[in-house]
Structure 1
Amino acid sequence: MLVITRANETLAAEADDAVVEPEQLRRATLASSVGSALEYYDFYIYGLASALIFGPLFFSPLGPDGALIASFATYGVGFAARPFGGLIFGYIGDRFGRKMVLILTIALMGTASFAIGLLPTFEQAGMLGAVLLVTLRIIQGLGAGAEQAGATTLISEVAPRRRRGFFASLPFVGIQLGTLLGAGTFALITMADKSVLQGWLWRVPFLASFILIAVAIFIRLKLKETPAFQELEKHKNVVKNPIGALWKHSKKNVLLGIGLRMGENGNSSIYSALLVSFMSMPAGVFAGNNSIGPVGLLIAAGFAAVMVVTFGALSDRFGRVPVYRYGALFQAIIAVPAFYLVTLGNVTLVWVVMAVGIAIGVQSMLGPQCPLLPELFGSQYRFTGVAMSREISAVLAGGLAPLLGALMLAATNHSWLVLAIYSLVLALISFVTTFFTPETAGRDLVSTEDAK
C-alpha cells in the first residue's frame, strides 16, 4: 500500500510539473530575466550616479554633503513612487492578466531611464535639470514598482511545483546581469577624465538602456498568459477589486512580506550605493577614487548570479523559511566585522566584503524569496500582494537606506559604525519575521486561498 501511495504521489507530482509546455517555461524565464536585467541595470546606474555624479551635476550650490544628500533624496523618490506603481499595475495584473503589465512596466521604466541621459545639468539650465530628474525618477519608480512583482509572479505560476524555487530564482540572474552591465559600465567610465565624465560620458549608460527596452518588449510580446490566471478567467473568478480583496484577506501576509524584504532589499542598497559613496567621500578611506566601488559590485554580481539560483534550489529541498532565516542571521552576524574591514584601506578586502555581503548575505534571502512571496497569496490578488510586499519594503528599506545613511554619516563625522548598525538592524528584522512566516514550498498556485 505504501509503495502504491508513493507511486501515485510521484505521478501526481510529474503531472503537476507538466502544467505548461517547455517552450512557454523557457520564454517566461527569458522574458522575466531580461526585464530584471533592465530594472537592475537602471537601479545600479542610478544608484552609482547618485553616489558619484548627480550631486555636482544637478545640486552643486548645496556643497559636497548637501549635494550628496539631495542626490540620494532623488534616489529615494523613485522608491517612494514604487508602491503607487505596484498598486496601479498590480490592479491591472490581477484584473486583466500578467502579460499586459510586463509590457507596460518595461516600456515606462526604460523610457524614463533613456530620458535621464538627455537632461540638462545645473550649469546648463539651473534647477530645471534637477526638477526633470526628480520627475523622471518618479516615472521610473512607477514602472519598477510592478516589474519585479510581475516577473516573480509570472515565473512562479508557470514553473513546476517541485522545482519552483529553482525556476523562480532564474529570472533574478537577470538582476545580476543588470548589475554587471551597470557596475561594469560605471567602472569603465569613472576611469575617464573628470571633465569628460561630467561633461557627456555620464549620459551613455542611461542612453544605452534603449537596447534592453527593445529586446525585452520583443520577447514579452510573445508570452502566453499563466495557467493560474487562465483558471481564474475560465471559472469567472477574476475579482473586480483586487486591492480591496487583498487588504480584506491578506494584511498579515503583506506585513510578513515587508518584514522579510527589509534585510534583503535594505542591505542590497547599503552595499551597492551607500558603501560605494562612503568609500569615495572626501573623508573616506579611498577619497576621490570612484572606481573601487563599481569594480567591487562587478565582482559581487558575478558570484551572486550563481548564488541566487543555488539558494532558490536549496529552498526547494529544505524549505523557504529555513533558508531565509539562516540567510538573514548570516547577514546580521557579518555586519560589524564586514564594515570594519572596509576601513582598513585594503582594496582586496573591500571586494571580498562586497562579494560576501551581496552574493551570500543578500542572495541567501533573495533566492527563497523569489517563490515565497507569490506562494503567500491566493491567485485572485497575488500580483497586487507581491507588489505591495515588495514595494512598501522597497521604500522603507531600499529607498531610505542611502538617504538616511548619508544623513547619519554626515551627523557622525562619517563613522563606519553607521553602516554596520544599519545593516545589522535590517537583517534582524527579517530574521525575526521568519518565525511568523508559514512554510509555502509546494503550494498549488491555482488556489485562491492564502498560505497560512
Structure 2
Amino acid sequence: MPPTKITLDREHRRVVLAAMVGTTIEWYDFFIYAISTGLVFATQFFGGAGKNALLVSFATIGISFFFRPLGAIVAGHLGDRVGRRAMLIFTLLLMGVSTALMGLVPSSDAIGAAAPILLVLLRIMQGLSAGGEWGGAALLAVEHAPADRRGLYGAFPQIGVPIGLLLANGVLAATAAITGPDRFLDWGWRIPFLLSVVLIVFGMYIRTRVTESPVFEEVKKTRTQSSVPLVPLFKHHWTLVIVGALLFAANNAVGYMATGGYIQSYAVKTLHLDRTTVLAAVMISAVGWLVSTMLGGWLADRHGRLPIYRIGFVVQLAWMFPFFALVNTANLALIILALVLFTIGLGFTYGPQPALYAEMYPTRVRYSGAAISYAIGAILGGAFAPTIAEALQTRTGTVYAVGVYLAIVTLIGLIATFLVKDRPGTPFTEAPTPKPLAEDRP
C-alpha cells in the first residue's frame, strides 16, 4: 500500500532531523565558498577581476571534488566497519573547522601567494568532508525508515542542500546589504565563514543524540561486516558504482549552475545586476528546490525511484534553453521564474537518490558504495561545471553553449536510468544482485 501522508514518530523525527540539520550545515559551509568564488575570491585571492582570475577562482571549486572520493573511501570504510553515526559527527566537525579558518585567511595583498594556497588547502578539507558526509546522512535516514517510506525519509537529508543554499545566499546577501559593496569585498565576506562555528556547535548537539542505524546494528551483531568493504564493492558491484555516478553527475552538473556560483557571477558581472538582488533570487529558487526534492522523494515511494528520475531528467532537458533565454532578459522576475522552474527537474532527480542508492547495495558495503558513487558523480558532474560554463561562454560569446553542454550531460543521466533496476522495498538483509542491467531480471 503506497504511503498517503507524512507521519514520523519521535525516534524517526530525531533521525531525519539529525540527517537534515547536519547536511544543511555541511552544505551551507560548502556553498559559502562556491558562491564567494565569483563574487569575492577572484579579486581578493586570485589576481583581480579579469576573466582569467575568474576562471582560476572557479577552478578551485573543482579541485576539492577530486578529494571527495578519498573522503568517501575513508568514511565509507569506517562507516561500514564502525557505524554511520560516528562518521557523521567527524565529517561535520571537519567541514566546520575548514570553513571557519577560511574566514581568517588574509588576502593575497597581505601575504602574497600563501593566501590562495591556504584557501585551496582548506577547500580540499571541505572536499574530504563532503565526500564522506552524504553517504552517512542518507543511509542513516533510509535505514531507519519503514520499507514503504524510504523515498520520503531519504528526501530529508537531501533538502539540507537547498536549505544550505538558502542559508548561504541569505547570509551573504544580508552581509552585503549591511556592509556595502566596498566593505563587503574588504572584510564583510568573512562574517558568513566565521558564523560556521555557531552552526557546527548546534549540529554536533543534534547528531550526538541520534541512535545508530538499526540495519547496521544487525550486521554488527551477526558480525557480517566486511573487513575491507572496497574489495567486495569493486569486485562484485563496480557496475553499480559507475551507473550511480552517471545518475548523480547529470543532476550535479545542472545543479551547480545555481549552487556553484556561475549564475550569480553571470548575472552580476555580465548582466550587471545588483549582487544582493541576485542572491535573493537564488534564495527563492532554493525554496522551489526544497519543495520539489521532498515531492520527488514522496512520489518515489508511490511510483518507484526510476520513473521519477526520468521525469526529472526530461524536465531538465525541456527547460534548458528557455532557462537561459529568461536569464538573458536581465529581468529579475523572469530570472526568478527561470530558476524556480529549473529546480523541478533538480528535485525529481535528487529526492529519490538516497532510497535508490541504498537499495542498490548490500548492507556490508552500502556506505562505501553510496558514498563513492556520489563522489565520482560529483567529479564528473559538478567539479568543473562552473569553470566549463565560464570557458564556453567566453569562447563562444553566448550562454547557450552552456545549455548544450548541460543538455548532453542530462541526456547521459537519462540513459543511465535504463541501466539500473528499481528495487523499492527490497529487504536490506538481502544483497541485491551486482549486475545493474535492467533486463537482468531475477
TM-score (norm. length: structure 1): 0.92
Deviations 1:332-383 (A, max 9, x none): 111111112211221111111111112x010010011121111111101000
For residue 412 of structure 2, the aligned residue among 411, 429, 435 is 429
For residue 262 of structure 2, the aligned residue among 250, 268, 274 is 274
Number of the residue aligned with 1:72: 58
Number of the residue aligned with 2:363: 379
2:204 paired with 1:220: no
Measure, in 2, the Cα distance between the counterparts of 1:45 and 1:38.
11
SS of the residue 1:387 aligns to: helix
Q: Which runs of 5+ in 1 are unaligned?
A: 1-9
Measure, in 1, the Cα distance between the counterparts of 2:230 and 2:281.
40
Contact 1:270–1:419 (8 Å) recurs in 2: no
SS of the residue 2:423 aligns to: coil
Contact 1:336–1:420 (8 Å) recurs in 2: yes
Greater shift in the superposed pair: 267-276 or 93-102: 267-276
For residue 231 of structure 1, the aligned residue among 194, 218, 232 is 218
Number of the residue aligned with 2:336: 351
For residue 56 of structure 1, the aligned residue among 21, 34, 43 is 43
2:296 paired with 1:311: yes
Q: What is the CA distance between 1:176 and its match in structure 2?
A: 2.2
Contact 1:314–1:323 (8 Å) recurs in 2: yes
2:399 paired with 1:416: yes
Deviations 1:100-129 (A, max 9, x none): 100110000111011100000011111111
Measure, in 1, the Cα distance between the counterparts of 2:241 and 2:283.
33
Number of the residue aligned with 2:380: 396
Greater shift in the superposed pair: 314-323 or 171-180: 171-180
SS of the residue 2:432 aligns to: coil
The number of residue pairs the alignment matches comes to 430
Deviations 1:396-428 (A, max 9, x none): 111110122222222223x11122112211211
Contact 1:180–1:298 (8 Å) recurs in 2: yes
Contact 1:76–1:399 (8 Å) recurs in 2: yes
2:433 paired with 1:445: no
The sequence identity of aligned pairs, in percent, is 33
Measure, in 2, the Cα distance between the counterparts of 1:72 and 1:178.
20
Number of the residue aligned with 1:255: 242
SS of the residue 1:445 aligns to: coil
2:129 paired with 1:146: no
Measure, in 2, the Cα distance between the counterparts of 1:123 and 1:250.
50
Measure, in 1, the Cα distance between the counterparts of 2:297 and 2:257.
23
Code of the residue aligned with 1:167 in structure 2: it is: Y
Contact 2:392–2:402 (8 Å) recurs in 1: no
Q: What is the CA distance between 1:450 and its match in structure 2?
A: 4.4
Q: Which runs of 5+ in 2 are unaligned?
A: 437-442
For residue 126 of structure 1, the aligned residue among 101, 112, 124 is 112
Alignment RMSD:
1.8
Code of the residue aligned with 1:306 in structure 2: it is: V
Deviations 1:161-201 (A, max 9, x none): 11111111022222222111101112223334222011110
SS of the residue 1:193 aligns to: helix
Measure, in 1, the Cα distance between the counterparts of 2:38 and 2:412.
26
Q: What is the CA distance between 1:152 and its match in structure 2?
A: 0.5
TM-score (norm. length: structure 2): 0.94
